[in-house]
Amino acid sequence: MSGALMQPTALKPSTEHLALPFFDATHREISTRLPDWANAQDVNESDDRAACRDWVRRLGDAGWLRYCVSAEFGGTLPQLDSRALVVLRETLAFYSPLADFAFAMQGLGSGAISLGGTAAQQQAYLPAVARGEKIAAFALSEPQAGSDVAAMATQAVEAPAWHLNGTKTWISNGGIADFYCVFAKTDAQAGSRGITAFIVDKNEAGLDDSEHIHVMAPHPLATLKLTNCKVAGNTPLGEVNGGFKLAMQTLDIFRASVAGAALGMARRALAEAIAHARGRTMFGHTLADFQLTQAKLGEMAALIDAGALLTYRAAWMRDTQQGSMKERSVAAAMAKMTATENAQRVIDMALQMHGGLGVMVGSKVESLYRDIRSLRIYEGATEVQQLIIGKAVLQ
């Protein structure tokens, strides 16, 4: 994004929702300061890798990445706060989905270290993540194991030192990360109970992250090939065979934040649609004068609010430990499913309202249309969220 190019109308996200009881002064403060900061950035996004690095550096310098780790390791809050992640991602995604991506992947990529790392691992990585000095990545998916995590084939063996063999793919920050949190099988017969997490440093011999994957939105993704690759400090991340639960607990936090990003994109699409409806004249009236337009804007606003309430509830439940772990997990799944699906619908409606201008390459609604699509897939596709909710309903 070039700030001047992408924000001709200087739109700002509304902060009215912050009056909801889910939020406190910390969240209101973030949402007061962040829009001015985000709006002032002028990052050239024509090269996604360079732009992502640039965003990480800027976010680190400005202190925003401190919300990705706990205060003990240079963060701002005593523990990872889901509501802070949600409001940060909502605001960043409103301005630049790539800035949101850069922020979120620092959190997701280091989340397992925050939750399950030893003190030495936390000290070695988290302060540098918070300052934007080390770029993090989360390596879970494989060519034959996307939604079905337990089917992964990458193996970790301790003989005599720990080393990894296998292929991970769709790895966000792949190619620009300084370290990867890699999940691998340590007991081939034990399904989800035979997976362990490890940290692998980028410069380790046997790590090849040079195969870039190009997707419809500009995001740095790569395949990660591991050949007899050593593990940082020769120490697993968390308990041996405890990696599946560590991955799920990390995803539980970040799934609600994906919903936050979807809200930010949907709010931007609605803001663009309102500006267009007010400015465009047709049959002697502005588009906004027509009831057909008002009905569509009304539906878009309601779709956003429905996603928002589920998202804020999920984040609040986690932060304040409401309900059981399973209930919090289901709330995060409901939030991710609803907010991302609704955002896709809202952005499509905004694009339709723009007519030909909406499909013009370079228009904001056109880029949002491409940006939103992957949110319904990554960190657990809509169908995975349906399964999580459906299983719980049956129980």
The footprint of ligand CO8 (CB under 6 A) covers 138, 140-141, 147-150, 170, 172, 192-193, 215, 217, 219, 221, 244-245, 248-249, 251-252, 329, 374, 378-380, 384, 387-388
Dihedral (Cα; 126, 128, 133, 134), 10-degree rounding: -40
Residue (213 or 288) nearer to ligand CO8, CB:
213
CB of 84 to ligand CO8, least distance (A): 20
Residue (281 or 395) nearer to ligand CO8, CB:
395
End-to-end CA distance of the chain: 46
Residue (17 or 209) nearer to ligand CO8, CB:
209
Residue (215 or 309) nearer to ligand CO8, CB:
215
Yes or no: say if 117 and 146 are a contact pair by the CB < 8 Å rule: no
Task: Give residues with Cβ within 8 angstroms of 203, minimum separation 6.
Answer: none
Catalytic residue among 45, 142, 341, 379: 379
The sign of the torsion formed by the CA atoms of 341, 344, 348, 354 equals: positive
Can you read off the two tokens belonging to residue 138? 């989360």
Question: What amino acid occupies position 392?
Answer: A
CB of 314 to ligand CO8, least distance (A): 12
Task: Give residues with Cβ within 8 angstroms of 116, minimum separation 6.
Answer: 197, 237, 238, 239, 242, 246
Name the nearest CA neighbour of 172 among 143, 140, 131, 130: 140
CB of 307 to ligand CO8, least distance (A): 19
Residue (128 or 195) nearer to ligand CO8, CB:
195
CB of 338 to ligand CO8, least distance (A): 16
Q: How far apart are CA 346 and CA 254, in angstroms?
A: 22
CB of 310 to ligand CO8, least distance (A): 17
Residue (74 or 380) nearer to ligand CO8, CB:
380
Q: How far apart are CA 299 and CA 83, in angstroms?
A: 26
CB of 36 to ligand CO8, least distance (A): 27
CB of 114 to ligand CO8, least distance (A): 15
DSSP-based three-state secondary structure for 8: coil
Strand partners, 236: 198
Residue (311 or 329) nearer to ligand CO8, CB:
329
Q: How far apart are CA 245 and CA 207, in angstroms?
A: 25
- The half-sphere exposure of 292 on its side-chain side, counting CA atoms within 13 A, is 7
CB of 252 to ligand CO8, least distance (A): 5
How many angstroms separate the Cα of 373 from the Cα of each of 207, 262, 303, 341, 369? 30, 10, 17, 9, 7
Question: What amino acid occupies position 46?
Answer: S
Q: How far apart are CA 53 and CA 185, in angstroms?
A: 31
Active site residue 72: no
Task: Give residues with Cβ within 8 angstroms of 146, minimum separation 6.
Answer: 170
DSSP-based three-state secondary structure for 180: strand
Strand 207-213 versus strand 281-282 pairing type: unpaired
Q: Which residues are catalytic?
A: 379
